[in-house]
């Protein structure tokens, strides 16, 4: 049983193949971490799943529905997938509460009072109850990202995609955001994360995938990837990450 199945996906920008035949299956409640150097195609893969990009070849199935078919209603697919980006997530002209309620109200046609009630519950659950009426520019970067995650969560998606949600943050703020993701995992949310936080990937992932130049070179449990990588390129990448840590 798979929730998401990516089969032989190719994506090209201009003359450059950014994804070169990626295969990946994600089970319900599974947490998949995508790792790999900058430019390896992590963001592109997530954007393809969310249909923000059209694939140049291959198929993506969500709940056994081919979402890469020409006739697919992209808006309908995106209702089932939440996505959080690295930065510029929140709408600056809306309060936190309005940000969270926008999609439930306009897309899912939930009534105002119910949407706001649910939003406040979520905010309280993640320790942001007092920020409901604040505008995003009054929040710290970490708080903004937590709100962005809550906003993605508010539509009760089948799957959440997180694209380096901590890489624009101070180390001190990262912890809070990771805490939210940890809690989502405990709640059984299916997630795909692109991340540079190897320690976190190791802790939270069920499966770690190493992308290299648009190829999904190696996948396995965190144990396998971080302690006994098979591919020389994976080893090299992990070594370079370790070295940059030490600096």
Partner 1 sequence: MKGTAGRVKSERQVEREKLRRKRALRSGSIASASTFVFLVLVVLLITNSPGWDRVRETFFSWEAFTEALPDVVAGFWTNIQIFLIAEPLILLIGLLIALVREVKAPVFFPLRALAVVYVDVFRGVPTLLIILLVGFGLPALQLQGVPKDEIALGVIALTLSYSAYVAEVFRAGIGTVHPSQRSAARSLGLSHGQTMRHVVLPQAVRRVVPPLLNDFVSLQKDTALVSTIGVIESLRQAQIYASSKFNYTPYLVAALLFILLTIPMARFTDYLAARSERRRGA
Ligand X SMILES: Nc1ncnc2c1ncn2[C@@H]1O[C@H](COP(=O)(O)OP(=O)(O)OP(=O)(O)O)[C@@H](O)[C@H]1O
Q: Shortest distance, CB of residue 17 to Mg ion, whole angstroms? A: 17
Given the structure tokens 């969560």, which residue do they identify? 153
Look at strands 65-66 and 57-62 and give their pairing: antiparallel
Query: Tokens 């069920």 label which residue?
Result: 206
Our CB check for ligand X shows the closer of 18 and 162 to be 18
Going by C-alpha positions, the residue among 95, 135, 138 that lies closest to residue 119 is: 95
> Should residue 89 be labelled a site residue for Mg ion when binding is judged by CB under 5 A?
no
In the stretch 71-90, what mask flags binding to ligand X with x, by CB under 6 A?
A: --------------------
HSE of 111 in the Cβ direction (CA atoms, 13 Å)? 3
Q: Taking CB under 8 A as the criterion, which residues in 22-81 touch partner 1? A: 47, 50, 52, 74-76, 78-79, 81
Q: Spell out a b/e string for 3-21, using b for 16 or more CB atoms within 10 Å of the CB, else e.
A: bbbbbebbbeeeeeebbbe
Per rule CB under 6 A, is residue 41 in the interface with ligand X? yes
Least distance to partner 1, CB of residue 115, Å: 13
**Residue 39 near ligand X by CB under 6 A:** yes
**What would the x/- binding string for partner 1 be over residues 71 to 90, using CB under 8 A?**
---xxx-xx-xxx-x-xxxx
| 40 binding ligand X? (CB under 6 A) | yes
Packing angle of the helix pair 141-153, 171-186 (nearest 10 deg): 20
What is the rounded distance in angstroms from the CA atom of residue 107 to the CA atom of residue 41?
Answer: 30
Of 18, 161, 165, 198, the one binding ligand X (CB under 6 A) is 18
Q: Which stretch binds ligand X (CB under 6 A): 32-40, 115-123, 127-135, 228-236?
A: 32-40
**Residue 187 and residue 160 in contact, taking contact as beta carbons nearer than 8 Å:** no
Residue 238, both tokens: 């992990």
- Residues 29-48 within binding reach of Mg ion (CB under 5 A): 43
> Could you count the other beta carbons within 10 Å of the beta carbon of residue 195?
23
Residue 38 near ligand X by CB under 6 A: yes
Number of residues that bind partner 1 (CB under 8 A): 29
> Which residues have CB under 8 Å from 126's CB, separation 6+?
146, 149, 150, 180, 183
State how far the Cα of 169 lies from the Cα of 43, in Å rounded to an integer: 18
Two tokens at 142?
């970490």
Taking CB under 6 A as the binding criterion, the range among 34-42, 64-72, 113-121, 230-238 that sits at the site for ligand X is 34-42
Partner whose binding site includes residue 40, from ligand X, Mg ion, partner 1, none (CB under 5 to 8 Å by kind): ligand X
Residues near ligand X (CB under 6 A): 13, 18, 36, 38-44, 164, 194
Residues near partner 1 (CB under 8 A): 47, 50, 52, 74-76, 78-79, 81-83, 85, 87-93, 102-103, 106-108, 137, 148, 151-152, 155
């Amino acid at each position: 049983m798979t929730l998401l199945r990516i089969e032989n996906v190719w994506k090209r920008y201009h003359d450059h193949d950014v994804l070169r035949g990626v295969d990946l299956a994600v089970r319900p409640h599974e947490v998949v971490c995508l790792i790999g150097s900058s430019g390896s195609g992590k963001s592109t893969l997530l954007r393809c799943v969310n249909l923000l990009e059209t694939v140049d070849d291959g198929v993506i199935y969500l709940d056994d529905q081919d979402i890469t078919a020409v006739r697919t209603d992209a808006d309908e697919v995106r209702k089932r997938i939440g996505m959080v980006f690295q930065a510029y997530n929140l709408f600056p002209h809306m309060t936190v509460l309005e940000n969270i309620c926008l999609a439930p109200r306009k897309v899912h046609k939930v009534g105002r009072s119910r949407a706001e009630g649910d939003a406040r519950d979520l905010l309280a659950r993640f320790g942001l109850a007092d920020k409901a009426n604040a505008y995003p520019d009054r929040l710290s970067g970490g708080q903004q990202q937590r709100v962005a995650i809550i906003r993605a969560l508010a539509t009760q998606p089948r799957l959440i995609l997180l694209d380096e949600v901590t890489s624009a943050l101070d180390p001190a703020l990262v912890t809070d955001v990771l805490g939210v993701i940890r809690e989502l995992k405990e709640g059984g949310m299916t997630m795909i994360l692109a991340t540079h936080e190897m320690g976190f990937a190791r802790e939270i992932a069920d499966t770690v995938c190493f992308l290299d130049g648009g190829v999904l070179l190696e996948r396995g449990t965190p144990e396998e990837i971080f302690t006994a990588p098979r591919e020389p390129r994976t080893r090299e990448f992990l070594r370079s990450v370790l070295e940059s840590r030490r600096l």
